[in-house]
Amino acid sequence: MVDDDPVTLTLVESALVNAGHLVWTTENASRVRQWILERDIDALVLDVMLPDTSGLDLLRSLRQDPLIGGLPILMLSARGESEDRVHGLKQGADDYLAKPFAVEELVLRVDRLVAQRPGAVRDDIGPGLEDLERSLVDRQVVGKVYFGRYQVLEMVGEGAMGMVFRGWDPRLKRPVALKTLRIQPQGLDLDRPSMISNLLQEAVTVAKLNHPNLVAVYDVAQGPKGAFIAMEYVDGISLASHLKQHKTLAQAQVVSLGQGIAQGLDAAHQHHVVHHDVKPGNVLLSFGGEVKVTDFGVAHLGNTLVSDDAKVFGTPGYLPPETLLNEGYSEAGDLFGLGAMLYQCLVGRLPFVGRTLPQVVLSTVRDEVEPPSVNAPGVSEDMDALILGLLAKKPQDRIASAREVIERLLAMESEPWQAPKGRPGESAVKRSPAKSGADEAIDKALRDGRSCQIPLIDPTVPLEQYLALVRD
């Protein structure tokens, strides 16, 4: 198996070993051909996104190799639309599994590929979904994979820093969310143990926070090849998923959501804890009607992993101008992200837009924001003033604190947050043909509100030259 996430490699390796397979894992695609030739590999599991190449490029290369061209290959990708699956299969994949996936399903698909290998003895796993489901029940793989003491039950999401799983704490008899973290210090002075130590210290600080609008952190631990965070499991959806379904929200409901988010930020800021990546994907809406902010410190860890001093880790459209100008990040940056998020809830788009990453960055630094009411009739003057105050270009010109945001929202008419009925399906997003490397990562960041490495702006460089530098 080839994947750029060491914790995912450990998780899947454990599941496949429990299923009776001998498994080799690597983060380095350059080793794959040699391993296949030396170790008589029966099947290959290959992630589309790899740090040094594209999984699709490696797939095409293997298919053209006369010595190993017939090897069964399962492709993994976060791009799960039908056109993406068709594209992967046309490139030569024997099977295609979209992330997030249930680990037991991956095991069953690998079983099927191995059985289809020339000369292999076929088992009772057939190609149909009913056969997969029946074999899943027979195998009972669920619950056999652990992170520390935590049972891993299923994958529920993926982000720029790792994956999120639903799990179970058998000691305290409660559900948990398990977030893996990619820690790859290539080109940095810090080694992996040092980074994990920094992560532990950051998480200890966050774990001290106890507030109903913050996702509680229970535990942080080092795995064999990485680290994971065990935290409160919120049965619900993210604000990002909700906005994909509903596009815009009524002001009264935005007031209620804004109060919950601001209260969480205020509790953190009082303890000098800064989020660094305030966006809809990091706001969870429980089916019980709660609003919770999650992932404190993860983006800060992401910045320690950026080896290029000319880049910053964050989410395009939510990072404040001062950060993009390499002037740091503070509580005022969290408030800027909150302002961008409230604007998006009311208008249906971010205040700073563009078709490319450089355009979004330049818009954030340069363009003045129109009041939300210009594009969303019915938004009050007070809400206009609040959002414009949060989106001021200079941090000293912004609203001073999350507490002030709460007080101003309390003066507006609000509608209690009502949890959506049922779990929303995947939104249909038109996607372009598959790309490789950084291009695909940037596309995901713009399309899905994901974090990525963003080139900083040098104030001494003309903006036109910045555009050319980023293109290069």
DSSP 150-187: EEEEEEEEE-SS-EEEEEEETTTTEEEEEEEE----TT
- Give CA–CA dist 262/119, Å, rounded: 62
SS3 (DSSP) at 349: coil
The pLDDT value recorded for residue 91 is 85
Residue whose token pair is 């810090």: 190
Highest mean pLDDT: which range of 272-281, 373-382, 430-439? 373-382
What is the structure's pLDDT at 300?
Answer: 54
Largest distance between two CA atoms of the chain: 73
Q: Under DSSP, is residue 269 helix (H, G, I), strand (E, B) or coil?
A: helix
Lowest mean pLDDT among 158-167, 173-182, 235-244, 371-380: 158-167
Give residue-wise pLDDT tens across range 97-121.
888 788 888 888 888 888 766 544 3
SS3 content of the chain, % helix, strand, coil (to 5): 40, 15, 40
Q: Which of 126-140, 230-244, 451-465 has the lowest mean pLDDT?
A: 126-140
pLDDT at position 280: 93
Q: What is the DSSP letter of 26?
A: B
Across the chain, mean pLDDT equals: 77
pLDDT band (50, 70, 90) for residue 126: very low
Q: Do 269 and 331 form a contact (C-beta atoms < 8 A)?
A: yes
Rounded to whole angstroms, the Cα distance separating 258 from 410 reads 10
Beta strand extents in 1-59 (DSSP E only): 44-47
pLDDT for 420-442, tens place per residue?
Answer: 655 443 322 223 333 334 444 44
Q: Nearest Cα to 463, choosing from 329, 325, 368, 323?
A: 325
Cα separation, 400 vs 407, whole angstroms: 12
Torsion of CA 75, 81, 85, 88, to 10 degrees: -70
The confidence band for 380, taking pLDDT boundaries of 50, 70 and 90, is: very high
Contact call for residues 167 and 152 (beta carbons, < 8 A) = yes
277 is catalytic: yes
Residue 127 binned pLDDT confidence (cut-offs 50, 70, 90): very low
Q: Which of 288 and 347 is assigned the larger pLDDT? A: 347
Query: If you average pLDDT over residues 228-257, what whole number do you get?
Result: 91
Q: What pLDDT, on the 0 to 100 scale, is given for residue 293? A: 94
pLDDT band at 374 (very low <50, low <70, confident <90, very high): very high
Query: 14 pLDDT exceeds 90?
Result: no
pLDDT digits (tens, 9 = 90+) for 399-424: 999 999 999 999 999 887 776 655 44
Residue 44: beta bridge partners? Answer: 73
List the beta strands (DSSP E) in 281-323: 283-286, 291-293, 311-314
Residue 430 one-letter amino acid? K
Place of tokens 């040699």: 34
Q: How confident is the model at residue 298 (pLDDT cuts 50, 70, 90)?
A: low
User: Does pLDDT of 134 surpass 80?
Assistant: no
Spatial contact of 170 and 151, defined as CB atoms under 8 Å apart: yes
Q: Which pLDDT score is estimated for 434?
A: 36
Q: Which of 3, 95, 277, 384 is catalytic?
A: 277
Element (H, E) at 370: none
Please report which confidence band the pLDDT of residue 296 belongs to, taking 50, 70 and 90 as the band edges: confident
Q: Quick check: 275 and 434 in contact, CB under 8 A?
A: no
Taken in order of first residue, the domains within the chain and their CATH numbers are 6-139 (3.40.50.2300), 146-232 (3.30.200.20), 236-471 (1.10.510.10)
Give whole-number Cα distances, 20 to 14, 103, 106, 111, 121, in Å.
10, 15, 14, 10, 15
- Average pLDDT (327-347) is 93
Beta-strand relationship, 217-222 and 163-169: unpaired
The 10s digit of each residue's pLDDT in 308-328 is 455 666 788 898 999 888 888
For residue 467, CA distances in Å to 313, 321, 356 come to 18, 16, 10
State yes or no: cis peptide before 395, omega within 30 of 0: no
